[in-house]
Amino acid sequence: MSTEIHVAACCDENYVAYAGVMMHSAIQATPGATLHFHLINCSIRDESVDTLRTMLEAMGARLTTYTPDASLYEGLPTLRYGEAVYQRINLPEYIPESIDKIIYIDSDTLVLQSLMELWTIDLQGNSTGAVENLSPKACQDIGVDRTEYFNSGVLVMDLNQWRQRRLHRQVTDYARENAAGLRFVDQCSLNAVLQGDWLRLPLKWNQQSDIYKVIVKYQEGCSYSVDEMQSAMLEPAIVHFTGKMKPWKLYCFHPFKSCYRKVLAQTPWAGQPYPDADFNTRLRFLFALRRHWKFHARRQQLADRFQGKS
């Protein structure tokens, strides 16, 4: 009997195709296990849920959907990112108590290595496993060192601890009281409450787009070594398309965009036009090509140096 791995996601109709790509890539990357996806449905159309379910079941995976409880995020600002950003916080409210652990993964990601390794990681008594946030700015909002501030795009959650200590309620209470001064309300609130209670995971499990800046400009002060950053840059387990560089957009120069597009082409959402393919964007795209060759040249230089060491 294969191992069942529980994976959570939260999205609305605008992101359901991208959640589908994440799930498709996770199944492909994790042979020998049954993936059970738990989707917090933030106003996704029934037809889209049916499309997603059909794809997953055809690949041998399971899908359970949950309707959000609006009272859980009452009083929280939703204008910038919508209600979906808060749903990862409230996963313990939705997931059955028979499930004591779950991997949460953002929808703007691509899974390239088996989740079995992540699923079996020992959290060493911590409630959560996460990867350090590579940008040195967000941590300033809650007054902690950058090495003590994690990115919430990939989380391994000990649901027993979350439920027993009511951590989700602590996080939402913090968000309500401090939202005005936080750059990323949900992520900053998670970090404020979970200080000293999270295990730093290998960088490869959440390779953020800022890695290409950090390895050149901001490495000092980051807890990950240059070697580990180079390894995560070249062979990531999960690519997280943070910031504005989304692989479903024309105006995107991320090195793993082509990998993403290949997986997208295998899903029911294949053939979707670029959402930003207007004339002005195409013009910007052409002019930017020349500017971005330095970015890729630098990445290749680092790759050559790293491979030369091995």
Q: Are 24 and 55 in contact (CB under 8 A)?
A: yes
Segments forming the whole domain that contains residue 136: 3-274
Whether 179 is in a domain gets the answer yes
* Interval 120-130 mean pLDDT: 98
Whether the pLDDT of residue 215 is over 80: the answer is no
Question: 15 lies in a domain?
Answer: yes
Of the pLDDT bands very low, low, confident and very high (cuts 50, 70, 90), residue 129 is very high
Domain count, the chain: 1
Helical segments of the chain, H only? 16-29, 46-58, 84-87, 91-94, 115-119, 159-164, 167-178, 185-193, 211-213, 226-234, 257-264, 279-291, 293-309
Is the sign of the CA dihedral 109, 112, 117, 119 positive or negative? positive
Strands 128-132 vs 150-158: parallel, antiparallel or unpaired: antiparallel
Measured between alpha carbons, how far is residue 154 from residues 202, 236, 285 in Å?
11, 13, 30
136 in any annotated domain: yes
Average pLDDT over residues 41-66: 97
For residue 279, tell me if it sits in a domain.
Answer: no
pLDDT the model gives residue 13: 94
Question: Given a cut of 80, is residue 259 above it in pLDDT?
Answer: yes
pLDDT band at 141 (very low <50, low <70, confident <90, very high): confident
Residue 94 maps to a domain: yes
Confirm whether 216 is domain-assigned.
Answer: yes
Residue 84 included in any domain: yes
- 287 inside domain: no
Q: Which two tokens stand for residue 230?
A: 């180079």
Residue whose entry in the numeric block shows the structure tokens 């901001």: 218
pLDDT of residue 277: 59
Q: Is the dihedral of CA 174, 42, 4, 20 positive or negative?
A: negative
* Residues with Cβ within 8 Å of residue 53, at least 6 apart in sequence: 63
Per-residue pLDDT at 293: 58
Task: Please give the helix or strand (H or E) that residue 104 lies within, else none.
Answer: strand 101-105
145 pLDDT above the threshold of 80:
yes
Q: Contact, 130 vs 206, CB < 8 A?
A: yes
**What's the confidence (pLDDT) of residue 286?**
57
Average pLDDT for the chain? 88
Q: Which residue has the higher pLDDT, 211 or 273?
A: 211
DSSP readout, 212-273?
A: HHIIIII-TT-SS-HHHHHHHHHS-SEEE--TT--TTSSS---TTHHHHHHHHTTSTTTTPP
Which CATH number goes with the domain that contains 262?
A: 3.90.550.10
Q: Label residue 310 by pLDDT band (50, 70, 90).
A: very low
pLDDT digits (tens, 9 = 90+) for 8-18: 999 999 999 99
pLDDT tens digit sequence for 60-87: 999 999 998 888 877 787 656 666 778 8
